[in-house]
Amino acid sequence: MYRSKLLFLWAALIALGRATPASHLWGPTLSRVYDTTDTLPRPNVGNLNVHDPNVVFWKDHYYLFKGGVHVPYFRAANMSGPWTQIGTVLDGDSVIHQGNRSRPWAPTTVERNGTFYCFYTLSTRGSRNSAIGVATTTVLDGSPWIDHGAVVRTGQGNGSTVWPFTVSNAIDASFIRDQATGQAYLNYGSFWHDIWQVPLADDWLSIKSPERPDAVQLTFIPREVVRPEEGSWLSYHDGYYYAWFSHGECCNFDEHGFPERNDEYSIRVGRSRAVRGPFVDHDNKMLLDGGGTVVYASNHGLVYAPGGLGVLARNDSSPDILYYHYLNTSIGFRDDQALLGWNYLKYDNGWPVVIDGIDAKTSAAPVYQLPSRLYLLTMMGRWSRSALCFTAFSEILANWGFSTGLWLYLLWS
Ligand SMILES: *[C@@H]1O[C@H](CO)[C@@H](O)[C@H](O)[C@H]1NC(C)=O
Ligand SMILES: *[C@@H]1O[C@H](CO)[C@@H](O)[C@H](O)[C@H]1NC(C)=O
Ligand SMILES: *[C@@H]1O[C@H](CO)[C@@H](O)[C@H](O)[C@H]1NC(C)=O
Ligand SMILES: *[C@@H]1O[C@H](CO)[C@@H](O)[C@H](O)[C@H]1NC(C)=O
Ligand SMILES: *[C@@H]1O[C@H](CO)[C@@H](O)[C@H](O)[C@H]1NC(C)=O
Ligand SMILES: *[C@@H]1O[C@H](CO)[C@@H](O)[C@H](O)[C@H]1NC(C)=O
């Protein structure tokens, strides 16, 4: 009996192999790819395609900045949209001659006394020939911002021969102020020696001491060749500074395939009483020693590789919001399919935790859906005894429809 079933499945597989492209046959339905945990809540959907979102709340509206040609920005009355594009931060290519001048990454915008400062990144994938620039405006109405050029550079250009710009990568800017002194800090960095912090000059357009930048390192993964930490964010809440970052692989899953489960982006954090650290995670492990508590990660076989995060710090009556981009496994894995997601945060003994479930108060009605087909596939993949059985079954499911697949599965097991 067993043998005949196996033969049948082989025949089915061969037939399918002919009928479908190989990339589909061995594609992302494999259970090793997705994390199906249901201990993390699903996101509130933001209803916007974004990569590395950044949100500012100003005069009863959310303003969202994202990586894209000339840094597009949007406005909405609600985090779940609808979002209306206002314009772009840059009205042409950046004045900085470095990286990709037309397509900045990972903007971070902050406001001081009615002036907005947008820190943006110029780079190219896999390179540390990068710069962080800054542009300012006093109105968020689509009129041009003033591009002030580079704040820091690595690889080449003014200042790039000064440590730590000699070892780090000038991408993914974030910002924090010392609560007591008001001193502003730029945080930045990626796979090259991970995340760093330098004090900004009072004008916030340059670093305080270009010759001796007074840099501190915030995160590091020692004893590893690849150190996948980037996209820092610093927030403050009730006596603690929080250093957030994305850990793992961010992008290119459609072209380069999938990493081992949990090696994709996840959102991690450490905390400190001091803005300059050192930061430790929930297990008291230093962020400089590879530490970082996972706050949000792939879940339900549906949400994949969340990261590029920010925290919208608010007040006692409105909880903080964690926002990020993620891939929806039932939509696709191209970088331009990344979506805005968000969750309210609560603090358990000073540790941030994403709050369960869909935001019942948002204007976007909560969607209670059946688990996605991929989720079912993955779960059944866990139960089934052999990888062959699972692969064949999942492909039958994917290609011949759910009821046929289920029928075959029940017959088989
Ligand atoms: C979204 O809008 C609803 C009301 O329409 C409001 O109750 C809710 O707090 C809003 N949420 C956010 C995050 O803006
Ligand atoms: C810069 O980015 C744009 C938009 O993504 C792309 O079309 C262009 O080819 C890139 N240029 C370089 C030099 O990489
Ligand atoms: C804030 O901006 C206003 C108007 O632009 C200016 O008069 C005032 O001096 C500024 N305050 C500070 C603290 O910079
Ligand atoms: C290089 O940076 C220094 C310090 O920030 C600045 O004073 C100088 O004008 C810059 N030179 C150029 C050519 O941009
Ligand atoms: C708290 O934050 C919300 C949202 O940012 C804002 O609408 C409200 O006015 C704030 N309340 C106070 C007391 O600052
Ligand atoms: C994922 O995509 C499916 C199909 O479009 C949709 O029904 C579901 O609401 C989405 N979920 C999230 C969290 O994006």
Query: What tens digit of pLDDT does each residue of 45-98 get?
Result: 999 999 999 999 999 999 999 999 999 999 999 999 999 999 999 999 999 999
Are residues 14 and 25 in contact, defined by beta-carbon separation less than 8 angstroms? no
CB 251 within 8 A of CB 204: no
Question: What's the mean pLDDT in 311-319?
Answer: 85
47 lines ligand 1 (CB under 6 A): no
HSE, CB side, 13 Å, CA atoms: give it for residue 26.
Answer: 6
pLDDT, position 29 = 52
Give the CB-side neighbour count of residue 88, counting CA atoms within 13 A: 17
Instruction: Phi first, then psi: give them for residue 379, nearest 5 degrees.
Output: -65, -45
pLDDT over 50 (residue 375) = no
The values of phi and psi at residue 49, to 5°, are: -80, 120
Query: 345, 2 in Cβ contact below 8 A?
Result: no
Query: Which atom of ligand 4 approaches the CA of 207 most closely?
Result: 5
Q: Would you tell me how many other CB atoms lie within 10 Å of the CB of residue 331?
A: 13
Q: Where are the alpha helices (DSSP H) in 88-176?
A: none
Continuous segment of H or E residues that includes residue 144: none
- Helix/strand/coil percent split, the chain, to 5: 15, 35, 50
What is the Å distance from ligand 5's center to 73 Cα? 23
Of residues 341, 290, 267, the one with CA closest to residue 47: 341
pLDDT above 50 for 21? no
- Whole-prediction pTM: 0.82
Indicate the pLDDT class of residue 32, thresholds 50, 70 and 90: low
- Residue 395 pLDDT > 50, yes or no? no
In terms of DSSP H, where are the helices of 275-355?
none
Which residue minimizes the CA distance to atom 3 of ligand 1?
362
321-328 and 303-312 as β-strands: parallel, antiparallel, unpaired?
A: antiparallel
> Helices (H), strands (E): how many in the chain?
6, 21
C-alpha–C-alpha distance, residues 257 and 183, integer Å:
43
Higher-confidence position of 282 and 255: 282
Choice from 158, 165, 204 to test ligand 4 binding pocket (greatest atom count within 8 A of CB):
158
- Least confident range from 45-49, 167-171, 278-282, 398-402: namely 398-402
What is the share, in percent, of the chain residues with pLDDT greater than 90?
70
Atom index in ligand 2 nearest the CA of residue 124 equals 14
Residues that are catalytic = 52, 230
Q: What is the mean pLDDT of the chain?
A: 84
Pair of tokens at residue 28: 């992302």
Pocket lining: 57 vs ligand 5, CB cutoff 6 Å? yes
pLDDT in tens, 120-149: 999 998 899 999 999 999 999 999 999 999
Which of 45, 47, 78 to mutate to test ligand 1, by most ligand atoms within 8 A of the CB atom?
A: 78
Q: What local confidence, expressed as pLDDT, does residue 223 receive?
A: 87
Look at ligand 3, atom 7, and give the residue with the nearest C-alpha: 113
CA distances from 166 to 66, 155, 160 (A): 28, 7, 6
The model's confidence at residue 26, banded by pLDDT at 50, 70 and 90, is: very low
pLDDT of residue 185: 98
Task: Kindly state the average pLDDT of the residues 4-17.
Answer: 43
Question: H/E/C letters for each residue in 382-394?
Answer: HHCCCHHHHHHHH
CB 99, CB 124: distance < 8 Å: yes
Cα 195 from Cα 218, distance rounded (Å): 5
Asked whether 209 lines ligand 4 (CB < 6 A), one says no
Report which DSSP code applies to 258: -
Instruction: Determine phi and psi for 335, rounding to 5 degrees.
Output: -60, -35
Q: How far is CA 299 from CA 33, 312, 338, in A?
A: 11, 22, 15
CA gap 281, 373 in Å, rounded: 36
